[in-house]
């Protein structure tokens, strides 16, 4: 599996405090079946120790340690705050992108109600040539109450990352779990990621998210941790998603049910 969202780098944000914690996180990811893990430290004003110019070197260093214990590969990226993105230089945005290719970027969905100009802020990033992967929109109360606002973004080319924890461990009937499962079922989410912060944080591992997603879209669940994230890391168009043998149930977003 490929995991496009983690806070594996230590001493920077709300990830591990030290190298030992990073190595424990990496070992847990590999034991869960992850072969490639994106390091996505918060690029956000309240985490001033994160420097986008240091991410690649930190990944090189961590990979040297990780290789001593297994085969996991860690690649540089960032979890980009929308306001940070507005003031970042083109070079800083490139350094924040997956594998620093300048093609795909992970944008953090705010936790509170969305401002009316949220979409405009996203498109200020896309017009600079980036494909946006929106991190965990299922947790946002505005999207939970108005999912069509999210489907509009998807129709305009924004990709959606749902978090394993939301699908696997959210309380039955919780709004984030319901929205995440609807998004998977209706082909409106493209990636499942762990957003893991430590080996001991009790978040659901990626495999648990895939297993939960597989209850509504088994073939797509696998695609969301393999073919789709591979294309994002490569900066290439997403391959066609698999056709499900199951008939989708009616969901919140049924108007938008479609193949991709």
**Span of 45-53, 72-80, 95-103, 151-159 interacting with Fe ion by CB under 5 A:** 72-80
Alpha carbon distance 189, 187 (integer Å):
6
Mark 168-207 with x for binding to Fe ion (rule: CB under 5 A) and - for no binding. Answer: ---------------------------x------------
For the four alpha carbons of 5, 38, 183 and 153, in that order, the dihedral sign comes to positive
End-to-end CA distance of the chain: 20
Alpha helices, DSSP H, located in 13-159: 19-32, 55-67, 82-87, 90-96, 118-126, 141-145, 147-155
Plot region of 159 (φ>0 → left; ψ -120 to 50 → alpha; else → beta): beta
**Span of 76-84, 115-123, 137-145, 174-182 interacting with Fe ion by CB under 5 A:** 76-84
Please report how close the Cβ of residue 195 comes to Fe ion at its closest, in angstroms.
Answer: 4
Please report how close the Cβ of residue 15 comes to Fe ion at its closest, in angstroms.
Answer: 9
7 vs 185 by CB, closer to Fe ion: 7
- Asked whether position 13 contacts Fe ion by CB under 5 A, the answer is no
8 vs 228 by CB, closer to Fe ion: 8
Please report how close the Cβ of residue 52 comes to Fe ion at its closest, in angstroms.
Answer: 15
How many CB atoms neighbour CB 14 within 10 A?
Answer: 13
Under 8 Å between Cβ of 42 and 50: yes
Please report how close the Cβ of residue 144 comes to Fe ion at its closest, in angstroms.
Answer: 19
13 vs 186 by CB, closer to Fe ion: 13
Under 8 Å between Cβ of 82 and 121: yes
Q: Applying CB under 5 A, which of residues 3, 66, 75, 79 lies at the interface with Fe ion?
A: 79
Alpha carbon distance 217, 202 (integer Å):
25
Please report how close the Cβ of residue 6 comes to Fe ion at its closest, in angstroms.
Answer: 8
- Asked whether position 138 contacts Fe ion by CB under 5 A, the answer is no
Catalog residues that contact Fe ion under the rule CB under 5 A.
Answer: 79, 195
């Amino acid at each position: 599996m490929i995991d496009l969202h983690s806070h594996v780098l230590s001493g920077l944000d709300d990830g591990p405090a030290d190298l030992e914690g990073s190595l424990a996180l990496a070992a847990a990811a590999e034991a869960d079946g992850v072969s490639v893990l994106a390091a996505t430290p918060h690029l956000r004003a309240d985490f001033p120790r994160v420097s986008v110019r240091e991410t690649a070197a930190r990944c090189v260093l961590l990979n040297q340690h990780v290789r001593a214990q297994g085969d996991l590969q860690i690649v540089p990226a960032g979890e980009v705050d929308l306001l940070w993105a507005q003031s970042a230089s083109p070079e800083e945005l490139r350094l924040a992108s997956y594998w620093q290719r300048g093609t795909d970027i992970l944008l953090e969905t705010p936790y509170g109600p969305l401002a009316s100009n949220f979409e405009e802020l996203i498109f200020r990033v896309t017009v600079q040539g980036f494909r946006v992967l929106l991190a965990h929109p299922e947790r946002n109360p505005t999207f939970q109450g108005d999912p069509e606002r999210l489907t509009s973004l998807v129709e305009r080319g924004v990709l959606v990352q749902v978090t394993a924890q939301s699908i696997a461990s959210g309380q039955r009937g919780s709004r984030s779990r319901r929205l995440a499962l609807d998004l998977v079922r209706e082909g409106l989410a493209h990636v499942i990621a762990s957003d893991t912060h430590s080996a001991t944080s009790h978040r659901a591992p990626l495999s648990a998210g895939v297993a939960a997603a597989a209850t509504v879209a088994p073939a797509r669940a696998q695609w969301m941790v393999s073919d789709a994230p591979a294309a994002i890391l490569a900066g290439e168009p997403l391959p066609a998603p698999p056709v499900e043998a199951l008939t989708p149930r009616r969901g919140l977003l049924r108007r938008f049910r479609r193949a991709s």
